[in-house]
Amino acid sequence: MAEKIELQKVEVWDGNYAASHALRQAQVDVVAAYPITPSTPIVENYGQFVADGYIDGEFVMVESEHAAMSGCVGAAASGGRVATATSSQGFALMVEVLYQASGMRLPIVLNVVNRALASPLNVRGDHSDMYLGRDSGWIQMDAFNAQEAYDMNLCAFRVGEHMDIRLPVMVHQDGFITSHTAQNVNPLSDEEAYKFVGVYNPVEEMLDFSRPVTYGAQTEEDWHYEHKARQHKALMDARPVIESVFAEFQKVSGRQYKRVETYMTEDAEVIIVALGTTVESARVAAKQLREEEGIKAGVVAPRVLRPFPFDAIRDALQNCKAIGAMDRSSPGGALGMLFNEVSAAMYTTSARPVMSNYIYGLGGRDLSINAIKDIYRELQENATAGEITTPVQQFISLRGPKLSFFETRRS
Amino acid sequence: MAITSVKNLKEFSTANERFEGAHLLCPGCAHSMIVRELMNCSDDNLVIAANTGCLEVSTAVYPYTAWDTSWIHIGFENAATAASGAEAMYKARKRKGTLKNPDAPVKFVAFGGDGSTYDIGFQWLNGAVERGHDFTYICLDNEVYANTGGQRSSSTPIGSSSTTAPAGRVSYGEKQNKKDMMSIMAASGAKYVAQVSPNKWKNMAQVFQKSLATEGPCYINAISACCTEWKFDPKDTIHISDLATDSLVFPLYEIVDGHELNINYRPKNIIPVRDYLGSQGRFKHLFKPQFEHVLNEWQTRVDAQWDYLQRREAARV
C-alpha cells in the first residue's frame, strides 16, 4: 500500500502540482506519459511521488505522446484506472489514439495543459489544442485556476468511470497562467479524495480470461454508424451524470460547480462567453464596469465543453441583449468555435441576442482587463442599437493594423 | 491442452482452439499457421495485441471475432505499446491484489505485419523493447503491404515488383535491401530474437515457447509467404516456405541476450536462390536478360550473409 501524504488545509500549489496530487489521490493504476511543456511538471511530480513511495501503480515513461495514449488504451482495456497529461504538439500527436480511446469507451483521464499549436512554434497558452480535441468523443472539462484543476481531476474519474457513461475525460487548464502560477488550493485529505473517486470498477477487462473480449474491432458501413451514434448518446447522457457528480463533490468539498458557470448574469444586458483563465479576468472587468460605468455586464463560461452545454448556455444567456464570444484559438477561416456553438444555442430562443466574436490571446498574448472592458463597451453599443455595430469577428490586442472579418447583413 | 513436447503435427494443429477457423484470411495465407501455432504452444492466458493489417482486418470484423482470448487492436503502429500498457496494468493490479485470477500465468503477445513493424510502427516497437516489458512481438513478415494491395515496405526485398516499386521496361522493381530487423532488435535490448518459418513448425514452436518463457521483450520475425502478393498457387505456401529456408534467403537463427547467435536450421541440400525467386510472380521479371545481374547479386548476398551468420555463431561472442 502506498504511503499517504498529510496535506495542509490550504496548500500553495500551481495547476500542475494540483493535478498531480489529484492523480496520486485517485490511486491511478497506470500512468503512461511523455513530457511536454507546459504539462511536464504533472509528469515530473508524479514521477517523484513514485520515487518517494506514494504511488503503488505503474508509471511508464514512453517514447512519444502517441505511445503515451496507446499505452493508456492498452492499460485501460486491462481493467484499471488510467491517466496521463499532455499539451499542444503532444496532444496533436495523440489525436489518432484519442479517437480510438473514446471509440473503445475507455475511461482515461487526460490532463491537457492548454498551449498554442505550431507553426510558428510557441510554448505559451492558448486554446488551440483544446479546440483540436472537441470532436474526438471525449468529455472535456475546463479548469479556470489551480483549485479547479485539482477538483476537476477528481470529478473526471467519477464521470468517465460512471457505469452509464464509460468515456474518456480531458481536464483542461491554461498553460503557464494556471499551470505555473502558485495559488492557494484547498485539497481533500487522501482518504476523503479516494473515498470520493471510489474503487475502480472494471468493465470488459482483458485480464478476466473467463470471458475473453475483443477490443478495437473492424466495422464498415454495416455497423460503424451505430457505434458512433451510441458513442454520441453516451456523451449526451453524461450531462446529468456530471451534474450529480458535481453535487456530490460539493458535499465533500463545499465547492459548487455547474456545467455552465455564470457571473452576474441575472440582470446582465451584455455578456462575455469565455474559457480558461479569461473567465476570471472577465469577472473582474464586469464587476468594475458595473461599479464604474453602470454597464450591466456578466460572464458565462462553459465548465464542460463536451458534451456542449447547449441547454445551460441558452438558459444563462436568454435574457441578455448582446453577447461577445471570445475564442482563444486561430479560427482557421471561420468564426470561432464558441461563437458558432453559442450562436446555435441562441438561435433557438425567441430573443436572439446580438452575437459577436472576439479572437484574442493567441500564443499567450496577454489579455488585459482594459481590453475586456472595451469589448463590454462594444457589446453595450450593440445592445443599445439592437444590432451589431462592428464586423462580426475582430482580432483584439493585435500588433499592426486592426483585423476584422465577416460583415453582417442584419440591418 | 497445449503441447508439452513437439512431436505430432496433427495433434499439435488441434491442440488449443483459441484462434478460430472462421476468419477472412486468404486461402493459403501463412499468417493463420503462425498464429495458431503460437496459441497452441502455450496453456497460459494470452493477451494479444495486433497492429492494423491483414491479420487484424480478417479476424475481428464486428460482430464476429476469431479470438478466443483477450485481444486488442488500436492502430497501425501501436500494438507493441498496447501490449506494454496491458502488461503494466497486469503488474499494477497484481501488486494491488485486484486481479480476478491472480495466480493464472499471463503472457502478452503483439502481432504486426512487416509494414507496421519495419516501417510505421518501428518507433513504438523499439520503445516497448527498450523499456523492457515482458512481452513477445511477432512480425508476420510477408515483405509487402498486403492488406492494402501490395505496396512496398522496408522489408520488401530487392528485385521484387510491388505496386509502389513496380518492375517495368527500365526498372527491376525494388531497389533497397530488406531491413535487418534481427540485428536492430537484438541491439535494442530484446532478450531473445529469432526468425521462424511455418514449414519448420517444430523449430517455430520451440522458438515461441522459448520466447514466452523468457522474461523481458522478445522479437520473432516470422516469414509469412503471401500467395496473393508473391503470386504463387495457394496450395504451395509450405513449398515456397521450404524454398525460402533451404535457399537460405530466409535463414532460421536466433540471437540470445543481444549477442549469442545460434543457427536453428541448416539445410542438408542448399538450393540456388534463383529457384526460390523463380517460384514467385513478384520476381518473374528478373529472369529477363537485362536483369540477370540482379539474380547474380542475390546469390552473392545470400552466400555472404550465410557465411557471416556461421562465423558469428562459431565466434561465440
Task: Please spell the DSSP secondary structure of B178-245, one letter per residue.
Answer: PP-HHHHHHHTT-SEEEEE-TTSHHHHHHHHHHHHHSSS-EEEEEE---IIIII--GGGHHHHHHHHH
Q: Identify whether A5 is part of a domain.
A: no
User: What CATH number does residue B283 fall under?
Assistant: 3.40.50.970
- How close, in Å, is residue A331 to chain B by CA atoms? 30
Partner residues linked to A141 by β-bridges? A171, A304
CA angle B63, B86, A138 (to 5 degrees): 65
A165 in the same domain as A268: no
Q: B292-298, long-range: CB within 8 Å, 24+ apart, which pairs?
A: B294/B158, B294/B159, B294/B172, B295/B159, B297/B158, B298/B158, B298/B159, B298/B249, B298/B273, B298/B274
Separation between Cα atoms, residue A327 and residue A319, nearest integer Å:
22
- Phi and psi (nearest 5°) for A404? -145, 155
Of A137, A99, A134, which is closest to residue A235 (Cα–Cα)?
A: A137
C-alpha cell at A164: 452509464
Domain count, chain B: 1
Q: Identify whether B258 is part of a domain.
A: yes
* Helix, strand or coil, per DSSP, at residue A266: coil
Q: Which of residues 216-245 of A touch B (CB under 8 A)?
A: 216-219, 223, 227
Residue A257 is given by DSSP the state -
Q: What is the pLDDT of residues A115-133, one digit of tens each?
A: 999 999 999 999 999 999 9
Q: pTM for the full model?
A: 0.97
- Phi and psi (nearest 5°) for B316? 50, 45
Chosen from B64, B65, B81 to mutate, greatest number of chain A CBs within 10 A: B81
- How close, in Å, is residue B290 to chain A by CA atoms? 45
Give residues with Cβ within 8 angstroms of A141, minimum separation 6: A152, A155, A156, A159, A169, A170, A171, A172, A242, A303, A304, A305
Q: What dihedral do alpha carbons A196, A172, B74, B52 form, nearest 10°?
A: 180
B63 CB neighbours in chain A (<8 A) are 223
Q: Identify whether B231 is part of a domain.
A: yes
Q: Identify whether A410 is part of a domain.
A: no
Interface touch B74/A200, C-beta < 8 Å? no
Q: Identify whether A293 is part of a domain.
A: yes
Q: Is B132 touching A (CB cutoff 8 A)?
A: no
User: What confidence score (pLDDT) does residue B5 get?
Assistant: 61
Interface touch B89/A79, C-beta < 8 Å? yes
Q: Identify whether B72 is part of a domain.
A: yes
User: What confidence score (pLDDT) does residue B48 get?
Assistant: 98
Q: Is A346:A277 a contact under the CB 8 Å cutoff?
A: no
- pLDDT tier at A160, thresholds 50, 70, 90: very high
- On the question of pLDDT at A53 being above 90, the answer is yes
Q: Kindly state the greatest CA–CA separation across chain B.
A: 68
User: What confidence score (pLDDT) does residue B2 get?
Assistant: 55
The last residue of one of the domains, among A217, A237, A253, is A253
Give residues with Cβ within 8 angstroms of A95, minimum separation 6: A132, A133, A136
Separation between Cα atoms, residue A215 and residue B73, nearest integer Å:
6
User: What confidence score (pLDDT) does residue B20 get?
Assistant: 84
Using left for φ > 0, alpha for ψ between -120 and 50, and beta otherwise, residue A361 falls in left
* Helix, strand or coil, per DSSP, at residue A247: helix
Q: Which amino acid is at B102?
A: P
> Do the bridges between strand A260-263 and strand A297-302 make them parallel or antiparallel, or are there none, so unpaired?
antiparallel
Interface touch A70/B106, C-beta < 8 Å? no
Give residues with Cβ within 8 angstroms of B232, minimum separation 6: B225, B240, B279, B280, B281
A234 in the same domain as A280: no
pLDDT > 90 in chain B, percent:
91
Interface touch B85/A64, C-beta < 8 Å? no
Q: What is the pLDDT of residues B100-112, one digit of tens each?
A: 999 999 999 999 9
The last residue of one of the domains, among A190, A218, A253, is A253
Partner residues linked to A185 by β-bridges? A11
Q: Which domain holds residue B175?
A: 15-315
Using CA coordinates, name the residue in chain B closest to A218: B61
- On the question of pLDDT at A329 being above 80, the answer is yes
Separation between Cα atoms, residue B134 and residue B109, nearest integer Å:
9
Q: Quote the mean pLDDT of chain B.
A: 95
User: What confidence score (pLDDT) does residue B8 get?
Assistant: 75
A166 in the same domain as A74: yes
Q: Is B83:B109 a contact under the CB 8 Å cutoff?
A: yes
Q: Which amino acid is at B286?
A: L
C-alpha cell at B279: 517460384
Cis check for the bond before B63: say yes or no (omega within 30 of 0). Answer: yes
Q: What is the pLDDT of residues B54-100, one digit of tens each?
A: 999 999 999 999 999 999 999 999 999 999 999 999 999 999 999 99
- How close, in Å, is residue A360 to chain B by CA atoms? 36
A74 CB neighbours in chain B (<8 A) are 49, 72, 74, 81-86, 88-89
Section B119-133 average pLDDT? 98
Partner residues linked to B138 by β-bridges? B111, B220
Q: Which of A58, A78, A217 sits opposite B65 (nearest CB)?
A: A217
CA angle A19, A20, A24 (to 5 degrees): 120
Using CA coordinates, name the residue in chain A closest to B18: A212
Complex-level ipTM: 0.97
Output the DSSP codes for A51-95: HTT---SEEEE-SSHHHHHHHHHHHHTTTS-EEEEE-HHHHHHHH
Q: Is B114:B143 a contact under the CB 8 Å cutoff?
A: yes
Q: Kindly state the greatest CA–CA separation across chain A.
A: 70
Q: Identify whether B105 is part of a domain.
A: yes
Q: Identify whether B10 is part of a domain.
A: no
The last residue of one of the domains, among A253, A275, A291, is A253
Interface touch A97/B75, C-beta < 8 Å? yes
A339 in the same domain as A369: yes
A71 in the same domain as A187: yes
Give residues with Cβ within 8 angstroms of A126, minimum separation 6: A114, A115, A116, A175, A328, A329, A361, A362, A363, A364
User: What confidence score (pLDDT) does residue A411 get?
Assistant: 58
Using CA coordinates, name the residue in chain B closest to A215: B72
Q: Which of A62, A100, A219 sits opposite B127 (nearest CB)?
A: A62
Interface touch A214/B57, C-beta < 8 Å? no
Q: Which domain holds residue A29?
A: 11-253
**Residue A376, H or E segment:** helix A369-385
Q: Is A323:A383 a contact under the CB 8 Å cutoff?
A: no
User: What confidence score (pLDDT) does residue B287 get?
Assistant: 97
Q: Identify whether B5 is part of a domain.
A: no
A196 in the same domain as A181: yes
Domain count, chain A: 2
Q: Which of residues 66-105 of A touch B (CB under 8 A)?
A: 66-67, 70-80, 82, 96-97, 100
Q: What is the pLDDT of residues B251-306, one digit of tens each?
A: 999 999 999 999 999 999 999 999 999 999 999 999 999 999 999 999 999 999 99
- pLDDT tier at B1, thresholds 50, 70, 90: very low
Q: Is B86 touching A (CB cutoff 8 A)?
A: yes
User: What CATH number does residue A231 fall under?
Assistant: 3.40.50.970
A177 in the same domain as A294: no
Q: Quote the mean pLDDT of chain A.
A: 97
Separation between Cα atoms, residue A295 and residue A381, nearest integer Å:
11
Interface touch A97/B84, C-beta < 8 Å? no
Partner residues linked to A86 by β-bridges? A112
